[in-house]
Amino acid sequence: MKFEKIAAPKGVREYLPPESQAFEWVREQLISPAKRAGYQLMELPVFEDTSLFNRGVGESTDVVTKEMYTFEDRGGRSITLRPEGTAGVMRAVIESNLDRGQLPVKAWYSGQFFRAERPQAGRYRQFYQVGIEAIGIDDPALDAEVIAIADRGFKNLGLKNYRLEITSLGDAQSRAAHRVDLMKFINALDLDEATRARAELNPLRLFDDKRPEIKSAMSAAPILMDYLSDYSRSHFEKVKEYLTDLGVAFVINKRMVRGLDYYTGTTFEFVHEDLGAQSGIGGGGRYDGLMEVLGGQALSGIGFGLGVDRALLAAIAENTLPVQGFTSDLFIIPMGEDFKGYALKIAAATRESGHSVEVAFGDRSLKGAMKAADKSGARFVAVIGESERESGTVELKRMSDGSSISVKIGELHKVLEA
């Protein structure tokens, strides 16, 4: 009987050794600035009630209308695998009354997200994001700090070929005024049916169309930034000022469009230049109406999500990954069956002192075991056999130069320290 192989589902990205080490490093670099700024972990479910995203992310978005993994669970409830992080954080904050305490609520998260799209370079059906949310305070200084934290994460990776684009989507009043004029403009254009339908749902979407004829038609369209209310305008001016003071470089993109409906006011995107079509490595913004829409108080919020997969691709493109495989301090080779138990004991004892120790398994030749030790990148190798057990001493071989010294087994950890 021969069994067929089972492949991974379409579009998932897996990180196996040795690449997984780089992935882990990238993820930690991206989120560490948030931890140092007082953000705390929220570990949330990867599936939620479908209505959370319908309402939170928005019925007009592509994410909700055609990219969600939605299914019915055994109790007949409609469940959706989370396509983004903000809605879930907000739900948990409301549900646990975190917004009744000290504000802003500052949370960070990390994990898998899911969108049922056709996969391509940098776009996967299961992808990884780290992100933060700061909820309950509307202060341009907070906006600037949130953006700076994201920027710091990318700088930690050593990235240079990216730019930060910022804009303001204004408050409700600003957007309503703009929408009237924008629709007037769009209605006068000669558009195909699908495009017109998209414009009805969210006219801003047309700013993001890549077709040349649409691009040129939209070049004369009224710009939201010109409709900002006094409040929104001065808020945005201060954000820019703080960012400049912080030394965070940015460019204004008056035509930025975000695919999630909840964004208001300050909105930003990190775009990397060496990545091909999927060039957004992170993005975020204010979402001042979201909490209320989800049944909570009318509090403001701001946050970002950074794509770990894409940040890794960017680091590879810019060649900024630190070259390091896993290397242990000591590799122990037992000389045959009789010494395996003894080798395990020495390994366990040496690990107690904080060193990483590997043991050669199987019944390979000494030469084969040495080869394995070499490939493992171990700094030192010790062969354990009859004479070692009798003398209580091992020849500790330094792999870099082949030299060896005699060490008492009980004092191995002291030598490894050096």
What are the residues binding RNA (CB under 7 A)? 7, 10-11, 61-63, 67, 84, 115, 117-124, 127, 129, 198, 205, 208-211, 257-260, 269-270, 276-283, 305-307, 309-310, 335, 364-368, 370-375, 381, 383-388, 395, 397, 399-402, 404
Task: Pick between residue 24 and residue 386 the one whose CB is nearest to RNA.
Answer: 386
211, two tokens: 């077709």
Q: Which is nearer to RNA, 13 or 235 (by Cβ)?
A: 13
Shortest distance in whole angstroms from residue 273 CB to RNA: 13
Beta strands in 126-257 (DSSP E): 126-135, 162-168, 251-252
Q: What minimum distance in Å lies between the beta carbon of 230 and RNA?
A: 29
- Closest contact distance (angstroms) between CB of 141 and RNA is 24
Task: Provide, rounded to whole angstroms, the least separation between the CB of residue 396 and RNA.
Answer: 9
Contact yes or no for 329/378 (Cβ under 8 A): yes
Tokens of 30: 């991206």
**Cα–Cα distance measured from residue 93 to residue 285, given in angstroms and rounded to the nearest whole number:** 18
- 48 pairs with which residues across the strands? 80
Nearest approach in angstroms of CB 178 to RNA is 18
C-alpha–C-alpha distance, residues 413 and 407, integer Å: 10
* CA–CA gap between residue 219 and residue 198 (Å, rounded): 18
- Is 349:407 a contact under the CB 8 Å cutoff? no
Phi and psi at residue 175, in whole multiples of 5°? -70, -35
CA–CA separation, 226 and 343 (whole Å): 74
DSSP state of 120: B
Q: Are 198 and 205 in contact (CB under 8 A)?
A: yes
What is the token pair recorded at 276? 């091909």
Closest to RNA by CB, 97 vs 400, is 400
Nearest to RNA of 138, 208 (CB atom) = 208
CB of 27 to RNA, least distance (A): 13
Amino acid at 64: V
DSSP annotation of 295: T
User: Among residues 180 and 366, whose Cβ is nearest to RNA?
Assistant: 366
Pick the closer one to RNA by CB: 173 or 393: 393
**Alpha helices, H only, 219-298:** 230-246, 290-293
Tell me the closest approach of the beta carbon of residue 112 to RNA, in angstroms: 10
Q: Which lies closer to RNA via its Cβ, residue 41 or residue 121? A: 121
**178/198 with CB nearer RNA:** 198
Can you tell me the distance from the alpha carbon of 55 to that of 35, in angstroms, rounded to the nearest whole number?
A: 30
Nearest approach in angstroms of CB 341 to RNA is 16
Residue type, position 223, single letter? I
Contact status, residue 240 vs residue 246, Cβ threshold 8 Å = no
